A and B are shown apart, each in its own frame.
Chain A
Amino acid sequence: MRRGGPFFAIAWLTALEAIRRPVFLLVALSCLAGITLLPWMLNYTLGDSGRIIRDSALSFTFVGGLLLAAYAAGETLSRELQRGTAAVLLAKPVKRPVFFLAKTLGIILAILLFTLAALSATLLAVRAGANDLMLDRTAALPALAALLLGPAAAGIWNHHTGRPFTSTAFLLLCVLFPGAVLLAAGLPPPFESLAFAHTLPWPILQVGVLIFFALCMVTSAASALATRLPLSAVLLLCAGLFLGGLMSDYVLGPHLEASWLARLAYAVLPNVQAFWLLDALDGLHRIPSVYVLTAAGYAAAWSALCLLAGSFSFQKLEIS
């Protein structure tokens, strides 16, 4: 007997279904193209191009990931319920919390792949545009090649074998972008100071990990909301929730001492600022590991509460 069979089977299928949706590829490809083309588009930045590229690329990663997480998590549940596949699945020996949690894990897996590809693209873009005067083509061209080669190869593969284009293209991008990072690391840069061996921006990866934690929170919240609400409402509420979380320090911060309501709202809203440490990158060489672990703990606790509420809601849901 295979242990955990149903759980991992549902998670795998959910991830596959998510990346096979054309919207998923469209959003992921747009973000990766945006990040890759940043160094090609920037001019006359007065020595700030590295920072602008880094901030913009991570913004692409966060906003794109947020859209993908909310859309995929919201759609996977509401669509399964609407399409009737959930009814067939739950007529099998699958407990409802297992179904719900496996669905969420599947989306997190798809988001992890996107984050890996986007961070690889970010590393290449930061190196390619680090110098204001000269584009580092040893990083820019491998990134561009990965961006173009992924969909092109998927198209050819689809033509010859009939394999689904969208998932193949997405998976190829997830392989080709890290491959491009390795290739760029092996190529001699125009300036020795740009070589990855000296300048691999580890703190960017740390911020990337923190962004991934925030995206896990979005996925959990969207999954919980999707047990009762249609996709449009899930997207709207997720956007509102995380926008509120982004502004919570500014809006609620001054009232925390005096108002219990402000404290309650501050506790409930996801504190996205804790995961958005771009400013810290300017001053610090590295983000302390303790901070990353604390943020991971906060994200895990907040996500667990969402998933608990979602499981309870799904347990009571009538599947008609």
Chain B
Amino acid sequence: MTSPPPSRSQTTDAAIRARDLVKTFRDFWRRPKVEAVHSISFDVPPGQVFGLLGPNGSGKSTTIKMILGLLFPTSGTLEVLGASPQDTGVKRRIGYLPEESYLYPQLTPLETLSFYARLFNLPAEEAKERIHQLLEMIGLSHARHRPVGEFSKGMARRIGLAQALLNDPDLIILDEPTSGLDPQGTHQVKNLILALAARGKTVLLTSHLLADVEEVCNEVAILFNGRILAQGTLDSLLTQKQKTTLSFPTPRQPDTLRELMKAAKGILGTVPALTHPRQALEPYFLEVIRKAEGDFATSGAAQDAPLAPFLEQRGG
């Protein structure tokens, strides 16, 4: 199956532009072993949240590693922020959260973030301020002197997120950003993604949690076996135009509903489905926890911290 054409015209300044991208892994003797990505083309428009979806082994991580310049495409072209992915100038504008929290276990959060700040040559005072703000934002200020090797997966994930945002990037690449996070953390990350997008940042994310993707992404590409099978905005892919939902408060008199159904059947010719809408579990869970938070202290990550001010200031 050939890849669908990109959703935007080529004249748009895409944050990421891939054309006929192929990645073949070879064995020790340089013989082709696996074709992980098969001639994919897509554009990630600036200021959008773009989801790269697919089952395990579909080529998502390989594509991301090519975008980051860690893997070299076998053929095809790839432009990131208008330049080659190998360009260190471009990498200065990218933030990357890998699928696993790859951190130095002996370093504390403070040391970890200071180290990454030095990689960006951030002036000492600015780095200190950003680190402070990010630790506040991810709710780990109280654990800044503990080695990250002692952290839970969710806490390590938050440090990973902080290092990805340290340089106030224009393009943020998040590989399974909510993996290992509790519902509160997941909610916080989703809010963060939306807040960053609202400030003009481009976000490329992969996730297995389709409900999360649905909440934050403007556009998605679905990969399978190294090929893009579907691509477009969520509205264009998911709206079922042949069905309509009508929502209104439940009438006090049971007869009203019966009359309404009878009238609808007369007009439409079929009996419409009648259900009561159900609240989603996530907001319900968050509400329960929010009520309990006042009563108990936690040694884990603090919740509901505001966005780091330096991320607020620079947005477009």
Interface residues of A in 76-135 (CB under 8 A from B): 83-85, 87-95
Bound-complex Cα distance A66 to B103 (A):
28
**A interface residues, how many (CB within 8 angstroms):** 29
Q: Is A16 an interface residue (CB 8 A)?
A: yes
Bound-complex Cα distance A275 to B121 (A):
39
Q: How many A-B residue pairs have CB under 8 A?
A: 81
Other-chain contact of B98, A87, A92, A318 (Cβ < 8 Å) = A87
Q: Is B310 an interface residue (CB 8 A)?
A: no
Contact yes or no, B119 A318, CB < 8 A: no
Q: Is A51 an interface residue (CB 8 A)?
A: no
Q: Which residues on the B side are within 8 Å of A8 (C-beta)?
A: 118
Query: Which interface residue of A16, A84, A91 has the most chain B CB atoms within 10 A?
Result: A91
Bound-complex Cα distance A281 to B156 (A):
55
Contact yes or no, A320 B65, CB < 8 A: yes
Q: Is A63 an interface residue (CB 8 A)?
A: no
Q: Is B263 an interface residue (CB 8 A)?
A: no
Q: Is B72 an interface residue (CB 8 A)?
A: yes
Contact yes or no, B69 A90, CB < 8 A: yes
Query: Which interface residue of B100, B103, B104 has the most chain A CB atoms within 10 A?
Result: B104
Nearest-CB residue, chain B, relative to A10? B119
Nearest-CB residue, chain B, relative to A166? B106
Q: Which residues on the A side are within 8 Å of B102 (C-beta)?
A: 83-85, 87-88
Q: Which residues on the B side are within 8 Å of A89 (C-beta)?
A: 119
Q: Which residues on the B side are within 8 Å of A320 (C-beta)?
A: 25, 62, 65, 70-71
Given contacts A91-B94, A94-B88, contact A85 B104 (CB under 8 A): yes
Q: Is A230 an interface residue (CB 8 A)?
A: no
Contact yes or no, B69 A93, CB < 8 A: no
Contact yes or no, B71 A2, CB < 8 A: no
Nearest-CB residue, chain A, relative to B72? A318
Going nearest first, the 4 A-B pairs with the smallest beta carbon separation are A84-B102, A9-B118, A319-B70, A93-B88
Complex A-B: 28 CB contacts under 8 Å: A1-B121, A2-B124, A5-B118, A6-B118, A6-B121, A9-B119, A10-B119, A13-B115, A83-B102, A84-B100, A85-B103, A85-B104, A87-B65, A87-B98, A87-B102, A90-B68, A91-B68, A91-B96, A92-B120, A93-B89, A93-B92, A94-B119, A95-B88, A164-B106, A318-B71, A320-B62, A320-B65, A320-B70
